[in-house]
Amino acid sequence: MRMDAVVAGVGMTRFGKHPDRGLKDLGAEAVSAAVADAGLELGDLQAAYVGNCAAGTVTGQESIRGQVILHPLGIGRIPVVNVENACASGSTAFHLAAAMVTAGMYDTALALGVEKLTHPDKRVSFAAFAGAVDVEEVRALLDQLATPPGGGGAPGEEAAGKGGAGGGAGEKRSMFMDIYAHAARNHMARYGTTVEQLAAVAAKNSLHGSLNPRAQFREVLTVDDVLAAPMIVPPLTRPMCSPIGDGAAALVVTSAARARELGIRRPVRVATSVLRSGWDHGPDEPGTVELCAREAFEEAGLGPGDLDVAEVHDASAPAEIITYEQLGLCGRGEGGALAERGDTRLGGRLPVNTSGGLLRKGHPVGASGVAQIVELTEQLRGTSGERQVEGARVGLAQNGGGKKGNDAAAMCVTVLRS
């Protein structure tokens, strides 16, 4: 939907493993920073939308997560809406906050994404992801993931049969890495995408993450480093997979009038935010990303060529490559070459995941979508330091999660303008 809202303040913790910090502590850091950045007080907030995906599984906190997290800050009385929408929980919270400000219900709202995924028992962390598929269809899904593309011979197929889908999925790793590995093998078999191109995405995002002080991983990796790393599920090595981590990110969303009152000199406007859910469609028919992007571009009066910077949901390296194609940044089957040429790295034609992306910044799932908007807001303000995209004026965020049928269960595409 078309929006008439402004991102007035941003705040974010460093993403990573924080064994001694809970949801309240992480959330408080991000919220306090965002409110201060907007030049407001906590009491100025009129509503809060809190995105969290896994607290029920990891910490046992259900039902009133947002109220529990915000209460120590003295935030009460106002509506607090808990938002759970798989890995799109944070972007959905932001979508709702911006929509309610656009509708005139509030002139100042908070969008918070916060997640605690690390746990002494890794099976608990992995179980948080396993619940983002239809639990009544898990066996059928695992059987599908073990099926070779077109019935034979895809890269990594033999190894996948030995240790891939069903051989540790959901116990030794997130089930979604098997989902992404299956998609990668299909893409490789159909279009000739190479493991070197997958590695180019991970290497590029490692460079970007090295410049981001809030990223979980800051080591710069080469393509050879990525390829030499331990295999998680073929063809994905460890740096091609997003890590388990904790963190929080927050946004203060205001009306344009309120932004003027606050004296915000470089307002970042929410041009549009499109939220959709998956459905059954043919393998070559447009899916959630294509439909969200098409609607977002139409409502913003823009096209892919107008973008200056983008943050996309690279929960795995092949996911970023496929998303290039779905967003119209290149033709179908050309995403691997786009990454290999360096078009999407800083200094390239369209820098993607300047934050380091989920692969290097980290992926505390409920916070990831909000963190994308934090990164884009800072890019459009011109305050991103060493990773600044020169002259950035238009940014796009794509964040999705869960799986139902042959698509994501939830998808959100947002366009911001300076």
pLDDT, residue 261, reads 95
On the 0-12 / 13-18 / 19+ scale of CB atoms within 10 A, 153 is: exposed
Give dist(CA 212, CA 231) in Å, integer.
26
> Is there a contact between 175 and 169 (Cβ–Cβ < 8 Å)?
yes
Q: Span 43-67, mean pLDDT?
A: 97
Alpha-carbon 227 to chain mean position: 24
pLDDT, residue 156, reads 44
pLDDT of residue 170 exceeding 90, the answer is no
* Torsions phi, psi for 175 (to 5 deg): -55, -25
The domains located in the chain, with CATH, are 2-120+244-417 (3.40.47.10), 123-193+223-240 (no CATH)
Describe the strand order of the beta sheet including 309-311 as a list of residue ranges: 80-83, 48-51, 108-116, 246-254, 2-12, 268-277, 407-417, 394-404, 309-311
Q: Span 311-338, mean pLDDT?
A: 98
pLDDT of residue 165 exceeding 80, the answer is no
Strand partners, 237: 231
Q: What percentage of the chain carries pLDDT values higher than 70? A: 95
Paired tokens of 165: 């889908």
Q: Span 172-177, mean pLDDT?
A: 87
**Looking at the annotation, which residues are catalytic?**
87, 363
pLDDT tens for each residue of 111-140: 999 999 999 998 898 888 888 988 888 888
In whole numbers, what is the pLDDT of the chain averaged over residues?
Answer: 93
pLDDT of residue 167 exceeding 80, the answer is no
Q: Span 250-256, mean pLDDT?
A: 98
- At position 8, the amino acid (one-letter code) is A
Q: Span 254-258, mean pLDDT?
A: 97
Q: Span 8-32, mean pLDDT?
A: 98
> Is there a contact between 97 and 110 (Cβ–Cβ < 8 Å)?
yes
Q: How many CA atoms are closer than 13 Å to the CA of 282, on its beta-carbon side?
A: 2
Tell me which range, 121-130, 279-288, 395-404, is most confidently predicted by mean pLDDT.
Answer: 395-404
pLDDT, residue 161, reads 39
Note if the bond before 235 is cis, omega within 30 degrees.
yes
pLDDT bracket for residue 150 (50, 70, 90): low
Closest by CA to 386, choosing from 215, 264, 247, is: 215
pTM given for the model: 0.95
pLDDT, residue 383, reads 97
pLDDT, residue 155, reads 43
pLDDT of residue 107 exceeding 60, the answer is yes
Give dist(CA 176, CA 400) in Å, integer.
12
pLDDT bracket for residue 22 (50, 70, 90): very high
Give dist(CA 411, CA 418) in Å, integer.
24
How big is the CA angle at 15 (ends 121 and 274), to the nearest 5 degrees? 105
